[in-house]
Structure 1
Amino acid sequence: MVMGATGSKLEKALGEQFPEGERYFGLENFGNTCYCNSVLQALYFCVPFRDQLLEYYENNKIVTEAEENLLTCLADLFSQISSQKKKTGIISPRRFVQRVKKENELFRSYMHQDAHEFLNFLLNELVDILEKESKTTKASPEGSSSGKIANGPINPLANGARKEPLVTWVHKSFQGILTNETKCLCCETVTARDETFFDLSLDIEQNSSITSCLKNFSSTETLMADDKFFCDKCRSLQEAQKRMKIKKPPNVLVIHLKRFKYIEQLGRYKKLSYRVVFPLELKLSNTMEDSDTEYSLFAVVVHVGSGPNHGHYVSLVKSHNHWLFFDDENVEMIDEATVQTFFGSAQEYSSNTDHGYILFYESLSNRS
Structure 2
Amino acid sequence: MSSMDVDAAATAPIPVVIRHQGKKYDIDVDVSEPGSIFKYQVYSLTGVQPENQKILIKGKQVKDDTDLSTLGLKPAQAIMVLGQPGAAPTRLEAPAAKLKFLEDMSGADAAGGNLQVAPGGLVNLGNTCYLNASLQAMRSLPELQDSLVNRFEEDPAETSLMLARQLKKVFARMASSYDTYSPDGFLTTVRMLNPRFAERSRTGAGYAQQDAEEAWTFVMDNLRRNLLLKDVPAGAEGGSASNPSVSIVKRYLAGEMQKTLICDEVAGRTDAQAIPTTESFLALPCHINININHLRDGLLAGLTEKIDKTSEELGREASFTSTLKISRMPKYLTVNFVRFYWKRDIQKKAKIMRKVTFPHELDISEMCTDELRAKLVPVREKVREVRKEIEEIERTNKKRKRRLSEERKAEASGSGAGASRSDAKDDKKEDDKEKKTEGAEGEEVEYKTDAQIEAEKRESLEKAKEELYQLAKPRIDEDPYSNHTGLYELRAVVAHQGASANSGHYTAFVKKGTIVNPKTGKMSEEDGNWWWFNDDTVTEVGSERIDALAGGGESHSALILVYGSAPLPLPESRKSQKFFQS
TMscore range, shorter length: 0.7 to 0.9
Aligned to 1:105: 195
Alpha-carbon spacing, 1:37–1:227, altered in 2? closer, same or farther (3 Å): same
> Structure 1 pair 132/168, CA: closer, same or farther in 2 (3 Å)?
closer
Aligned mates of 1:265, 1:282 — CA distance in 2: 38
1:262 alignment partner, one of 319, 326, 342: 342
Query: Aligned to 2:361, which of 281, 305, 317?
Result: 281
Map of 1:246 onto structure 2: 326
Q: What is aligned with 2:503?
A: 310
Alpha-carbon separation, structure 2, partners of 1:213 and 1:309: 24
Aligned to 2:252: 173
Task: Give the superposition deviation at 1:227.
Answer: 3.7
2:170 corresponds to which of 41, 55, 77 = 77
Greater gyration radius:
2
Question: Which of 128, 145, 150 is the aligned partner of 1:33?
Answer: 128
Look up the SS of the partner of 2:327 in the other structure: strand
- What amino acid does structure 1 have at the position aligned with 2:123? E
Counterpart residue identity of residue 306, structure 1? A
AA aligned to 1:168 is: S
Contact in 2 for aligned 1:205/1:276 (Cα 8 Å) = no
What is the DSSP-based 3-state SS (H/G/I as helix, E as strand, rest coil) of the residue aligned with 2:551?
coil
Aligned match of 1:334: 541
Alpha carbons of structure 1 residues 140 and 283: separation in structure 2 relative to 1, 3 Å? farther
d(CA) in 2 for partners of 1:310, 1:362 = 30
Whether the aligned pair in 2 keeps the contact of 1:179 and 1:245 (CA below 8 Å) is yes
Residues 310 and 316 in structure 2, CA contact (< 8 A), matched pair in contact too? no
Once the two structures are TM-superposed, the CA of residue 266 in structure 1 deviates from its matched residue by 6.2
Distance 2:345 2:126 in 1: 33
Map of 1:56 onto structure 2: 151
How far does residue 30 in structure 1 lie from its aligned partner after superposition?
A: 0.5
CA distance in 2: counterparts of 1:8 and 1:255, whole angstroms: 30
* Native 8 Å contact 2:92 2:118 kept in 1: no
Deviation at 1:103, TM superposition (A): 1.7
Aligned counterparts of 2:128 and 2:327: Cα–Cα separation in 1 = 36
What's the CA shift for 1:128?
Answer: 3.1
In structure 2, the CA distance between the partners of 1:332 and 1:55, relative to structure 1 (3 Å rule), is same
**CA shift for structure 1 position 358:** 0.6
Contact 1:179/1:195, CA 8 A, preserved across alignment = yes
Work out whether 1:357 is the aligned partner of 2:442: no
* TM-score (norm: length of structure 2): 0.50
Alignment-mate amino acid for residue 280 of structure 2: T
What SS is found at the alignment partner of 2:368? coil
Distance 2:88 2:344 in 1: 49
Q: What residue number does 2:297 align with?
A: 212
Aligned to 2:276, the other structure's residue is in SS state strand
The 8 Å contact of residues 257 and 279 in structure 2, kept in 1 or not, is answered as yes
User: Residue 307 of structure 1: CA displacement?
Assistant: 1.8
Q: Deviation at 1:89? A: 2.8
> CA distance change for structure 1 residues 265 and 19 in 2, over 3 Å: closer, same or farther?
same
The 8 Å contact of residues 218 and 286 in structure 1, kept in 2 or not, is answered as no
Structure 1 SS opposite 2:227: helix
Aligned equivalent of 1:160? none
280-289 vs 237-246, greater mean Cα deviation: 237-246
Instruction: Please give the per-residue CA displacement for 1:245-282, whole angstroms capped at 9, x wherever unaligned.
Output: 11111111111111112345666532101111111000
Structure 1 residue 331: Cα displacement:
0.4
Q: Is the Cα–Cα contact under 8 Å of residues 183 and 191 in structure 1 kept in the other structure?
A: no
- What displacement does 1:319 show? 2.2
**What's the offset of the Cα at 1:141?**
4.8
TM-score (norm 1): 0.76
Structure with the larger strand share: 1
Structure 2's unaligned 5+ residue stretches are: 1-84, 106-116, 201-206, 232-240, 378-484, 514-525, 569-579
More moved, 261-270 vs 305-314: 261-270
1:75 positional shift: 0.5
Question: Higher mean Cα deviation, 353-362 or 64-73?
Answer: 64-73
- 3-state DSSP class of the match of 1:91? coil
Q: Percent identity?
A: 25
Per-residue Cα deviation, 1:97-120 (whole angstroms, up to 9, x for no partner):
111122221111310101111111
CA contact (8 A) 2:260 2:276 kept: yes
The match for 2:406 is none
CA distance in 1, matches of 2:213, 2:93: 33
Determine if contact 2:496/2:557 at 8 Å carries over to the other structure. Answer: yes
Instruction: Tell me, yes or no, if the aligned pair for 1:56 and 1:75 is still in contact at 8 Å.
Output: no
The 1:314/1:227 distance shift into structure 2, 3 A limit, reads same
Q: How far, CA to CA, are the matches of 1:209 and 1:140 in structure 2?
A: 47
Residue 306 of structure 1, CA deviation? 1.5
Deviation at 1:365, TM superposition (A): 4.7
Distance of aligned partners of 1:222 and 1:169 in 2 relative to their CA distance in 1, 3 Å threshold? closer
User: In the aligned structure 2, how far is the partner of 1:66 from the partner of 1:181?
Assistant: 39
Return closer, same or farther for 1:229/1:140 CA change in 2, 3 Å cut-off.
Answer: farther
Structure-2 change in CA distance of 1:119 and 1:285 (3 Å): same
1:6 is displaced (CA, Å) by 4.5
Structure-2 change in CA distance of 1:4 and 1:112 (3 Å): closer
CA drift of 1:129 comes to: 2.7
Q: 1:344 aligns with which of 540, 543, 551?
A: 551
Give CA-to-partner distance per residue, 1:144-181, whole Å, 9 cap, x none: xxxxxxxxxxxxxxxxxxxxxx6311111211111111
Q: Which residue of 1 aligns with 2:489?
A: 296
RMSD: 3.4
User: In structure 2, how many angstroms separate the alpha carbons of the residues matched to 1:310 and 1:196?
Assistant: 32
Give the conservation status (yes or no) of the 8 Å contact 1:127–1:170: yes
1:167 alignment partner, SS class: strand
CA contact (8 A) 1:230 1:236 kept: yes
1:356 offset after TM fit, Å?
A: 0.3
The answer to whether the Cα contact below 8 Å between 1:10 and 1:332 also exists between their aligned partners in 2 is no
* 26-35 vs 183-192, greater mean Cα deviation: 183-192
Residue 343 of structure 2 contacts residue 349 of structure 2 at CA under 8 Å; is this kept in 1? yes
Q: Is the 8 A contact 2:228 2:247 kept in 1?
A: yes
Per-residue Cα deviation, 1:316-346 (whole angstroms, up to 9, x for no partner): 001213311000000001001110111011x
Q: Is the 8 A contact 1:215 1:287 kept in 2?
A: yes
